[in-house]
Structure 1
Amino acid sequence: MTAAHPSDGRLLVPLYVHPAVDPAAWRAVAAAGPARVAAVVLNIADGPGDAPDNVFAAAAEEVRAAGIPLLGYSDTDYGRRPHAAVVADLLTYRQWYAIEGVYFDQVATATGALPHYRRLATAARAAGCGTVVFGHGDHPDPGYAELGLADLLVTFEGDWEAYRSMTLPLWTARHANAHFCHLVYDVPAESAGEAAALITARRAGLGCAVPGTGDNPWATLPYELSALQPQS
């Protein structure tokens, strides 16, 4: 299986809304194609759920058919969740939804957890995941950027005001832009262009800026794709 190789300016889309609730959002992502969307994070229930969801499977297949890789979401609880439980998530995603990669979320940032995440990355690749993403949400110890560990580090996830004041660590300059992703929510419409420019200026090869707020801001499309969503 071929890994997704992100390039500057493309989107990583955490699409955390059921296709039955917002089918237009899923169609908009598929319509955007791989030139604009590097990958979509598939998250059924903070993981794959207890049983296959045929509606999710059909929507996932439409995205895959458009040439966009799918990443299965698994919460690692900052290293507290057992290795076997996390690996079971990605194996289930592979079986039910044929994911091409994995998005490990709530990844620890401290050096001491590196061996745990090295094992998870190794297990993911052994299971056929061509792309491994670490969702730190903050800048981790530089060791997490070591070659062969994760393909992508999400080094910011938070609201627009926090992103505007974020400081970029110097060590990130030693790595390619394509190794980093910034996810920003609660972005006002009038600030959408500024957010996109700031993501690029901060050397994040991938990003996503959405208007969403609350417990699940990722139920909304990124601004770059909203024009592709049919209006009701």
Structure 2
Amino acid sequence: MKIVVIGGTGLIGSKLVAKLREHGHEAVAASPNTGVNTLTGEGLAEVLRGAQVVVDVSNSPSFEPAAVLAFFETSTRNLLAAEAEAGVGHHVAVSIVGTERLPDNGYFRAKIAQEQLIEKSGIPFSLVHATQFFEFTKGIADEATREDGCAHIAPVQFQPMAGDDVAAAVGRTAVGAPVNGRIEIAGPDRYRMDEFFRQALAGMGDTREVVTDPHARYFGSELEELSLVPLGEAALGEIHYRDWAAR
């Protein structure tokens, strides 16, 4: 099966391409580095020729709200148009658990816009909603660090997962039948977010204090207890944070 992975040279994309190839699929990594640009349309027709499935794990180079919205709307429109022309039968996109629960978060709004375009495209699709990745732990802590030098984290539920587990779940979805809806995936363990970061930073040798702050903002949004975790059934990863960190 020919599967084109948009964003195939990034964190999740590179893992996904490797896993698909291990299982005998023709997995093609598509990104500006390989001559495929979804913003301009460059290389799309060529790379999609003969593809049965497209997986979009691309990301915006800027997280500024207007820029990220423009990225996901433009790239998704171009990609879906090229897929329709090429006769692609399954579009898979990775999104985030809780997008609809944080409407004041510019990045989440952009992901919602992307999903709406996919849902209306007429192309069979699957949306994989993932929780935060272990690989982003330091970046989240950096964003949460205030003028006092402390990371201010809300005491809400948090269920992050390993990038390898994300790639495995997306791969299973890509080779399966389109669900024409969403699948939620999360890590095997649920934590209190402030406690997770207190332990994770200590394990990294990071001496920053983690302040428990119910009003701490997560990339601009104040969180409620269940903002970032699945509300119903979710497929759980197998890699525990302690094992991932030890590696």
TM-score by length of 1: 0.38
Higher relative contact order (CA 8 A, sep 6+): 1
Between structure 1 and structure 2, the one with the greater Rg is 2
